[in-house]
Amino acid sequence: MIRLARKEPAALSFWNLTEAHVLRSLRTEHGVSLKGVRQALSFAEGELAIDDLLLNREIRTDGGRLFLERYGQLIELSASGQLAMKRVFEEHLKRVDWDTRDFPVRLYPIVTKEYPEPDRRIAIDATVAFGRPVIERAGVSTGTIADRIDAGESVAAVAVDYELSEEEIEQAVLYERAA
């Protein structure tokens, strides 16, 4: 379902990471079956000439089915391309910033369920810190923060050093432990 950026040696690109994020969301948060995703990918490639469906910001879901918003209508991708009622699947795609060509450029991963959609403190951007996750406001790597906490420094001391809130420091550590 996700084509590797490079086969020899096997390597994942930032786009592959974004595709995996969307695929996980479709499977775990929206109940879309693997069969449904495969059907959608096949239909999108064969009938609509869309090669990177999981990177398309117009993808939607409702009740375990996949849709693509096109020409003001929703095309059901997992069941023969029928036009369907307009229901918007946005929660996870809101966590991706897109460039002017509609390619993903920045991902704001979900750290925990306690921090819903509006929380966008941690960012993954291929052009920042070599694609490592950072606290976006300061550009500090979440790994660096977690290493300092693991070395015995207090959350308050690390927060002062980077001019971040203690909550941002905790988010970075939570992200590193969940990743």
**Closest C-alpha to 65, from 92, 95, 31, 98:** 31
Residue ranges making up the domain that contains 83: 1-89
CA–CA separation, 179 and 138 (whole Å): 20
CA–CA separation, 116 and 121 (whole Å): 11
* Residue 59, domain member (yes or no): yes
CATH code (residue 164): 1.10.10
Domain co-membership, 72 together with 2:
yes
* Residue 101, domain member (yes or no): no
Residue 90 pairs in a beta bridge with none
pLDDT in tens, 71-115: 667 778 865 555 443 343 456 677 888 899 888 899 888 776 554
Contacts of 11 (CB under 8 A, 6+ apart): 4, 5
CB atoms within 10 A of CB 11: 10
Domain co-membership, 112 together with 80:
no
* Residue 95, domain member (yes or no): no
Q: How many domains are contained in the chain?
A: 2
Domain co-membership, 114 together with 58:
no
Position 163 scores a pLDDT of: 95
Task: Point out the least confidently predicted range of 1-10, 74-83, 138-147, 151-160.
Answer: 74-83
CB atoms within 10 A of CB 159: 17
Domain co-membership, 62 together with 120:
no
pLDDT in tens, 10-22: 888 999 999 999 9
CA–CA separation, 128 and 53 (whole Å): 25
